[in-house]
Amino acid sequence: MSKRYPSGFISAFYDPLKNPDAPTIGTATAGEASASVTFTAPANYGGSVISQFDAISTPQGIIGTAASSPITVSGLTNGTAYTFAVWATNTYGPSAYSAASGSVTPAGITGLFGGGSTVAVTLNVIQYITIGTTGNTTDFGDLTVARRLAGACSSSTRGVFGGGLTGSAQNVIDYVTIASAGNATAFGDLTVRQWAIASCSSSTRGIWAGGFDQNSADLNVIDYVTIATTGNALDFGDLLTTKTSFSGCSSPTRGVFAGGDNTNVIQYITMASIGNAIDFGDLLDAVIQTGSCSSSTRGLVAYGQDSFGDSNIIVYITIASTGNATDFGDLTLNRTTPAGCSSSTRGVFGGGYKNTGSTYTNIIDYVTIATTGNATDFGDLLSATTGMSACSNGHGGL
């Protein structure tokens, strides 16, 4: 990693007219133990092209490097406030520092698991984890209505839960403020009562798709809400076909829905533009009761159940590029209906059901999204639960 030249350093090629001018600082945005720092390159590059830009944190002096804006500075301490300055380097040495950015405070990304069912009861409980650190879930609060097989979506501040099944299909949408543990508040209603649905979200929009209606008929409807504004859902468009028991994930621009109804179909929407879904590619197998999560570039799908029964297979896609899925690795346990959530780097799958032995599980697994490989044990849910919905305040759609 590049380091700032010490005070008083003069390059062997030093010429005060040939060093670049200082960049103009932009904004700093906090992530999980990281920050993204934007800047404008100087108009005067000096005597040669700029080879790199660096950003340094105050405090701790942690440096990030990039060829252009933005610069990601990693290895920061969650809960600590930082400012950043940027400099440019060419053959003749470094520029002066830019002005300091505004102060930002990195924080751990929170994952929420809502509802679901145990052997004896349908749940209204919401539980949470800090995705960057392993451990068991903690009680967060309660949904307004106990239900299973709902869909969850989120912005950086709000988690929103829609639909589900409690004896009959639900159209209720409720929400929580992710930074503050507590019970959910009514948000509005979906356009129809639906359960076994898929969901995804951008920083502003929450999307629900497909599922069963109150008469257990398959649906192809796609609904959306503006997450920051309570109110009823609006029609977004239609899936390629009716679809149930599948899952969704997203980048900031695309929402992707995978599997369901024992098919291998992957389809996508453009989050900002209402309209019907478009074919994306195929999973490796026909599956049902999947779970999904994503970074901003890569979507993961945990199979749930394929033609051989309960599965532990995980596959991935590059969300920006249509095409077929690729093998990623395996969960620690075969199961159906795992609930998936993620930070920008880590994907987490919680709970599920093993048809073999009719067993519910409380297992939580995690993977590093950018690196293929098998999942690792993360911790345990409050109870063995299946049919949960999950979201986070740092997922790939933000």
Question: What is the residue-averaged pLDDT of the chain?
Answer: 94
The sheet that has 63-66: what strands, in order across it?
63-66, 52-58, 83-90, 93-94
Question: What is the per-residue pLDDT across 306-322, written as a single tens digit (0 to 9) for each?
Answer: 888 899 999 999 999 99
- What distance in Å separates the CA atoms of residue 345 and residue 368, rounded to the nearest whole number? 6
Banded model confidence at residue 171, pLDDT cuts 50, 70, 90? very high
Strand partners, 212: 195, 218
Main-chain phi, psi angles of 187, to 5 degrees: -110, -45
User: Residue 5's pLDDT is what?
Assistant: 54
CATH code of domain 110-392: 2.120.10.80
Tokens standing for 391?
């979201």
Residue 286 has pLDDT above 80, yes or no: yes
> Would you state the CATH architecture of domain 24-94?
Sandwich (2.60)
Main-chain phi, psi angles of 72, to 5 degrees: -95, 125
Strand partners, 279: 267
Q: By 3-state DSSP, what share of the chain in percent is helix, strand and coil, each rounded to 5?
A: 0, 50, 50
Least confident of 29-33, 153-157, 265-269, 388-392: 29-33
Question: What is the per-residue pLDDT across 365-383, written as a single tens digit (0 to 9) for each?
Answer: 999 999 999 999 999 999 9
- What distance in Å separates the CA atoms of residue 62 and residue 55, rounded to the nearest whole number? 8
Q: What is the CA radius of gyration of the chain?
A: 23
Within the chain, all domains assigned CATH 2.120.10.80 are found at: 110-392
Tokens standing for 288?
């049902």
**Which of 363, 367, 360 is CA-nearest to residue 379?**
363
Question: What is the per-residue pLDDT across 256-274, written as a single tens digit (0 to 9) for each?
Answer: 999 999 999 999 999 999 9
Average pLDDT of 17-43?
Answer: 91
Displacement of CA 17 from its chain's centroid (Å): 47
Residue 1 has pLDDT above 50, yes or no: no
Residue 7 has pLDDT above 90, yes or no: no
Query: What separation in angstroms does the CA of 69 have from each of 24, 40, 88, 274, 351?
Result: 11, 7, 11, 31, 40
Average pLDDT of 160-166?
Answer: 97
Residue 290 has pLDDT above 70, yes or no: yes
- Percentage of the residues of the chain whose pLDDT score is greater than 70: 96
How many degrees, rounded to 5, is the angle at CA 201 between CA 199 and CA 206? Answer: 75
**Which of 247, 241, 261, 197 is CA-nearest to residue 223?**
197
Burial group, residue 379, by CB count within 10 angstroms (0-12, 13-18, 19+): middle
**Which of 125, 115, 129 is CA-nearest to residue 170?**
115
Banded model confidence at residue 37, pLDDT cuts 50, 70, 90? very high
**Which of 372, 369, 353 is CA-nearest to residue 361?**
353
Within the chain, all domains assigned CATH 2.60.40.10 are found at: 24-94
Question: What is the per-residue pLDDT across 187-212, written as a single tens digit (0 to 9) for each?
Answer: 999 999 999 999 999 999 999 999 99
Banded model confidence at residue 107, pLDDT cuts 50, 70, 90? confident
